[in-house]
Amino acid sequence: MMASWENISITDCRTTHVPMRLYDGTAKGKSPPLVLYLRGGAFLNEERGTSEQAVARVLADAGAVVLEADYGSTSQCVFPKAMEHAFTALQCLNARRKQFGSGKSLLLVMGEEAGGNVAAGVALKARDLMPNELGGQILLSPMIDPMMSSTSFRKADDIGMRERWSDGWSHYLGSSSGFRHPYAAPCLCSRLSGVAPALIVTSEDDPLRDETLGYADRLADAGVTVRKRIYPAGSGWTDIYRHGEGPWKTALCAEFNAFVQELSS
């Protein structure tokens, strides 16, 4: 069944309601992992649309309960509102674990591209404000370096994304002082210890590869458990920037299941 949007009334969060879309898989167990999903879109606040997001559906079909939070339309996709609204969605999901899974369900946050940036910021804020509640973070080619100066970023023109990402960063950060805020640009964060374990995915031909792997290495150096997956060039991974699908779906499903098993053991 196609996942649909709905406004979930939250009485214990005391803030603006964030629309959610539920992806409920048929293979879920008694205590399925609960995933807050934050989609990409280069921070450009585009229409969320009615079509499902391929990444969210992959995890739901793998047995997770996935709630996609529409953090963009409620915040105009600007910092700090976008990250704060996503964090609110995480708090609300945490408070309602039994509604969507069970009290023992693992709580995860996941995002790709711009959503990966917000997910990383949410994971940092969760460490600071709700310690030991977030079980893990899944960052799929997170767009986390506003400098856009890595070697792999030179490939952005090859897939027509350089201008879009540049415009997106300008929109997200604007003229605010958030440029150096660790929640806005997690790659600049000087204190990464204690953040939730991470599954980090990219590909060899991904323009965001270097900043993705750089962040993974910094997390690992800070003592964070990190599971990395680098798909080969030509795997179709960069189609996620256009919400496309590809042969990476099966591999991502396997990586997710292995990550959840590691966290649960």
Query: pLDDT tens digits, residue range 21-45?
Result: 888 766 666 889 999 999 999 999 7
Side-chain half-sphere exposure of 49, counting CA atoms within 13 A: 10
Domain ranges of the chain: 5-264
pTM score: 0.93
* Sign of the alpha-carbon dihedral angle for 181, 182, 183, 187: positive
Q: Residue 93's closest CA among 63, 119, 68, 128? A: 68
Percent of the chain exceeding pLDDT 70 equals 88
Q: Is the pLDDT score of 233 beyond 80? A: yes
46 pLDDT above the threshold of 50:
yes
Q: Which CATH class is domain 5-264?
A: alpha beta
Query: Which span out of 51-55, 162-166, 249-253 was modeled with the highest average pLDDT?
Result: 162-166
- How is residue 64 written in tokens? 């997770």
pLDDT (tens digit, 9 = 90+) per residue, 122-140? 999 999 999 999 999 999 9
Q: For position 201, what pLDDT does the model report?
A: 97
Question: How far, in Å, CA of 171 to CA of 149, rounded?
Answer: 18
